Amino acid sequence: MTTTASPPVASGTGLPDVSQITSSDSALRRFLHGLPGVDQVGAEARAAMLSTRSIKTSAKAWAIDLAISMIDLTTLEGQDTPGKVRALCAKALRPDPSVADTPRVAAICVYPDMVPVAVEALRGSRVKVASVATAFPSGRSSLAVKLADTRDAVAAGADEIDMVIDRGAFLSGRYLEVFEEIVAVKEACGEAHLKVILETGELDTYDNVRRASWLGMLAGGDFIKTSTGKIAPAATLPVTLVMLEAVRDFRATTGRQVGVKPAGGIRTTKDAIKYLVLVNETVGDDWLDPDWFRLGASSLLNDLLMQRTKAVTGRYSGPDYFTLD
């Protein structure tokens, strides 16, 4: 177990004084570098241990349905077409058309120009429309362009925005610049929720993952997300463990709950269940909900559906039984 550093506290509240922490680059650096270091060996050993946990058959059926309901079903390719997005939305609404009680996914995640297509296809449903923005996946553009990108997606109907942080600025120690950019994008989101993508595969160390997690939360992010899915490694269990510890400690310190989204490389039911076990053992039931934990994936859903069919009927469906995404 880890604890957070003691941040400056606003008088009479017991809560961290964000304005003081972010009053200068040096103040923000002092706070972020004052967070406890991550025990790399310990984090990797705990993640590996939790990944070996087995669950009972009845619990597995529940976990499969929960994992389906947490998926951000994603297509982020240059060859995306309106037809492909409509087909993906149809699958989001009825993942297995032959089984009426199959849960719907949490959201569809698309590029901004495809948001109107997804909004129309999902109209009247509870499935959210998420859109990547801020010059995804590199983040290499001006702040004006990033804000315009965000506002365009929100104006088109996006419920959620997945933004990428400026990893160059973060790794150069320009923490206040990253903080202010997230704050500006959050403001541009209006009522839409903001997921802050850390791109952990480029952050090099678990200490940087913890610092970036706190930075994203201090700036107002509703979720912190591991990856764009375009950089290897993408989501890993140890990185997600560090992020889960960060949201746990952030809530204990501030009273505000923030969600977590591992994305990229999560392809099998076995993988998904490992992440659910990690959530349960690290932050508990409060995060075992699509409002607080998501799985960013494009190919995971089919494997979950095959395993769900096996649990119900006793036999596997072939991979060609379900539509390809």
Residues catalogued as catalytic: 162, 225, 261
- Quote the CA–CA distance of 275 and 283 in Å, as a whole number: 12
Q: Facing residues of 74 across strands?
A: 109
CA torsion angle for 126, 299, 67, 233 (degrees, to 10)? -120
Q: Quick check: 159 and 125 in contact, CB under 8 A?
A: no
- Quote the CA–CA distance of 102 and 4 in Å, as a whole number: 40
3-state secondary structure of 193: strand
- Quote the CA–CA distance of 81 and 123 in Å, as a whole number: 19
3-state secondary structure of 105: coil
State the Rg of the chain over Cα. Answer: 19
- Quote the CA–CA distance of 41 and 44 in Å, as a whole number: 5
- Quote the CA–CA distance of 246 and 19 in Å, as a whole number: 20
